[in-house]
Structure 1
Amino acid sequence: MVELIATTPAEGLLPTSRSGVTLNEIVLEQVISIAPFAAQAEGVEAALGIKLPKVGGSVAKAGKELVWFSQGQFLAIGFDPTDAVMGKAAITNQSDAWCALEIKGSKSEAVLARLVPVDLRASTFKQGNVLRSKLGHMPLHITRVGKDAFRLMSFCSMAGTMVHEISRAMGLLDARG
């Protein structure tokens, strides 16, 4: 019998660090999409004990994190809301669909400016803000998780390319001195 060994999407590729910027993989134990049925948003909030985030936002409370994902859809990160919202929302476990990376450091914005076609400066993209964009040619969900830190999520199948593109941009910034 073949013995399978579970690995993470970016296993063996990270961590890496250059110019004071560090790129690490984040293992998100649970990622569950929640899409409230018509007229059920308040029921979902009551069941979870947490408000659904506004477009482009995220909320965290008592170890629960909810992030806006797309119109009428949210991601529950790190907890399973299935039982609480059953019958009030469409629920999909996406835990093994995403590769999550954290880029942090004083030049993380400069690295991302070379790859993401949106303004991620702290003056416009504040902590807790989220958006859907692209990193090069890949779909990207990005959350500012700290002053100089971002969580980047793309499909698991894109993990190697995502790490390569970010590492390359880190190297280009490093070469500038």
Structure 2
Amino acid sequence: MVELQAKPPAAGLLPYSKGNLELIESALGRVFSVAPFKAQGEAIEKALGAALPKVGRSVHLSGAEIVWFSQGQFLVIGEGDMPALEGKAAMTDQSDAWCAIELSGARSEEVLARLVPVDLRQTHFKRGHCLRSQLGHMPLHLTRTGNDSFRLMSFRSMAGTMVHEISRAMDLLVARG
């Protein structure tokens, strides 16, 4: 009998570095999509012990992060099971659905400027800000995790393409000087 082995989405593709830029796979842990039922926002905030983030923002809890994901939908990243939210929200375990990578380095904004049609300069897009956009032709959820670092999430099936596009942009930027 064949024994299946679980592999991360970008297995064998990362880490990758060029110049002062680094691209690594980010292990998210458990990921739950949470869409609050009508009039349940306060009950969810009480159960989580934190306010739900505003549009385009993320909130850190002990052991977890809540990120705005789309209109009326949030991702809870890094938390175990979510029984406290049962009956208060539609929830889906999305732990195996996403490839998350971290781009870091002093020129990370310049790399993303070649790929993402949004102004990601720190003066506009600060730590904890997040958005939905595109990376080339792929859907993307992007969060600024630090002064010079970003978490990029796309569908697991697009891991190879996402790594290829970003590493190519890194190569071209560094080659340019």
- Which TM-score tier does this pair reach, normalised by the shorter chain? over 0.9
CA deviation vs aligned residue, 1:82-110 (integer Å, no higher than 9, x gap)? 20110000000000000000000000000
Residues 31, 143 of structure 1: alpha-carbon distance in 2 compared, 3 angstrom cutoff? same
**Partner residue of 1:82?**
82
Is 2:109 the partner of 1:109?
yes
Q: List alignment gaps of at least 5 residues for structure 2.
A: none
TM-score for both structures, normalised by structure 1: 0.98
Structure-1 separation of matches of 2:161 and 2:64: 30
Matched residue of 2:158: which SS?
Answer: helix
Aligned residue pairs, count: 177
State whether residues 32 and 80 of structure 1, in contact with CA within 8 Å, keep that contact through their aligned partners in structure 2: no
Structure-1 separation of matches of 2:114 and 2:19: 15
Question: Residue 61 of structure 2 aligns to which amino acid in structure 1?
Answer: K
**1:81 to partner: Cα distance:** 5.2
Question: Residue 132 of structure 2 aligns to which amino acid in structure 1?
Answer: R
Structure-1 separation of matches of 2:63 and 2:85: 17
**Partner residue of 2:6?**
6
**Partner residue of 2:47?**
47
Matched residue of 2:134: which SS?
Answer: strand
- Match runs of 1:1-177 below 5 Å: 1-80=1-80, 82-177=82-177
Structure-2 separation of matches of 1:90 and 1:61: 21
Q: List alignment gaps of at least 5 residues for structure 1.
A: none
State whether residues 104 and 150 of structure 1, in contact with CA within 8 Å, keep that contact through their aligned partners in structure 2: yes
State whether residues 57 and 129 of structure 1, in contact with CA within 8 Å, keep that contact through their aligned partners in structure 2: yes
Question: Residue 39 of structure 1 aligns to which amino acid in structure 2?
Answer: A
Structure-1 separation of matches of 2:165 and 2:2: 34
Over the matched positions of the two proteins, sequence identity in percent amounts to 66
TM-score for both structures, normalised by structure 2: 0.98
